[in-house]
Structure 1
């Protein structure tokens, strides 16, 4: 507080104010559940030396002053209680409004997640790079872009997967739509960073590949000397119970059996392209 030269009664320091704050802080720490107006009254009584002032009055004057003060006490308590009740009601209304707002947000989020899940359609969630390549193979560019965007939305909104970089879930930059290749690379980065994806479960693998036609981009020579070429159909996927899965490929030159691991390696090398 600055000292006012024109007003000699103004204090040159703020010690009195700081003293009042300090005493109220002491009262609060001593009795934290006491209402504020009581802190205020006690602070005024003590710092203004009211007790000493009353001692200087006659017995009759002191009695009249105390009677008058006590007479207004009940009114002060009622007003304070009224304000406390109003504050409590306001707090309850605010909490109820926040609850309604939260429930509305949760509902919107659930609806959004449900819509995003439905957008995956029969493709389902793509777990591997080969599945991504298979899913977009033969699609028009616009359809492929929409498919990849759907996968990205699902990973962000439903799975809550953390982005690998700032552009992971972006569809455009500087007002320019990202290309299909860029979106695919972002999705593959997310798939590679997803520690929960791992290998496809057998049921997912079977439902995704069974019955699909595959195009061979080169002749494939198997360990038994047989050569697969052209196109072939995945006729069957069999598990022997020990975890080993074999793929039956029906081609123009016969039926061939290969392991799942070899099949996935050939897909990753683009030697086999499921259509």
Structure 2
């Protein structure tokens, strides 16, 4: 009854046969839409204060306290006769066990959902890490037969004996190796995006990008300088046995 009175008071303009029960034209001021946020801010402040005063209080109980205060329930109770107040209190107390049971089930369900989400996030993390490792392994494998190109002059040495299709693959492999195995920071935006409008880049564009990466690497001498000489130009078997490079 208290909730019904509160609802009628806040939305009385829209109740059937009231002022705005039919169609409402734009720009009409009504009592249900407050001009300020004071009401809702007051409600949040009450809940926040309850968190500070009683941190162990359950959320349903906080909501109940807020509703009692907002709906003026105690004033409404005071208007009732002693017999009515007694019957209301008895009915409320009799519902406590069922409320506690529902609250326990809700907590159990919440804990289950949290655990489920934690498992999903862990599975996503492991899957992502495995995908990164596989891409890194493939990048090493694709350059294993020819070795790393660490100088601009070596590009022609690598590409000249190859047919056109193989030259494109070799250039892509060198770029992917720098991205995924050496983890070379990109000197320019989107340099590791090897397609444009859904189409693979041309051989000339791939060569240009590889030159940019080599020049940037040689300028800093931070990546290829640290590579063991045994990993440059070695055969596939020794590449894949190169320890941390494929680990």
TM-score (norm 1): 0.62
Q: Deviations over 1:134-175 (max 9, x none)?
A: 333433333332211101111223333343445623444456
Shift of 1:78: 1.6
89, 99, 119: which is aligned to 1:76?
A: 99
In 1, Cα distance between equivalents of 2:151 and 2:106: 63
User: Gaps spanning 5+ residues in structure 2: where?
Assistant: 1-9, 22-29, 235-247
In 1, Cα distance between equivalents of 2:161 and 2:74: 95
Counterpart in 2 of 1:238?
A: none
Alpha-carbon spacing, 1:197–1:180, altered in 2? closer, same or farther (3 Å): farther
1:7 aligns with 2:18: yes
Which has the larger share of helix? 2
In 1, Cα distance between equivalents of 2:36 and 2:93: 27
In 2, Cα distance between equivalents of 1:28 and 1:135: 70
In 2, Cα distance between equivalents of 1:206 and 1:156: 17
1:31 aligns with 2:50: yes
Aligned residues: 209
1:158 aligns with 2:181: yes
Shift of 1:63: 2.6
Let me know the Cα RMSD of the aligned residues: 3.5
TM-score (norm 2): 0.68
Shift of 1:72: 0.7
Shift of 1:60: 3.8
Q: Secondary structure at the match of 1:121?
A: coil
Counterpart in 2 of 1:103?
A: 126
| Greater relative contact order structure (CA < 8 Å, 6+ sep) | 2
229, 232, 235: which is aligned to 1:204?
A: 229
Alpha-carbon spacing, 1:108–1:65, altered in 2? closer, same or farther (3 Å): same
Kept in 2: contact 1:20–1:43 (CA 8 A): no
Q: Deviations over 1:161-199 (max 9, x none)?
A: 343445623444456554333211110101222335467
Q: Which moved more, 1:117-126 or 1:171-180?
A: 171-180
Counterpart in 2 of 1:138?
A: 161
Q: Considering only CA atoms, is the larger Rg found in Structure 1 or Structure 2? A: 1
Counterpart in 2 of 1:65?
A: 88
1:92 aligns with 2:115: yes
Alpha-carbon spacing, 1:67–1:126, altered in 2? closer, same or farther (3 Å): same
Alpha-carbon spacing, 1:21–1:85, altered in 2? closer, same or farther (3 Å): farther
Q: Which moved more, 1:54-63 or 1:39-48?
A: 54-63
47, 62, 67: which is aligned to 2:70?
A: 47
Kept in 1: contact 2:175–2:192 (CA 8 A): yes
Kept in 2: contact 1:168–1:187 (CA 8 A): no
Kept in 2: contact 1:20–1:47 (CA 8 A): no
Q: Deviations over 1:124-143 (max 9, x none)?
A: 33222133333334333333
Q: Which moved more, 1:100-109 or 1:58-67?
A: 58-67
Alpha-carbon spacing, 1:14–1:38, altered in 2? closer, same or farther (3 Å): farther
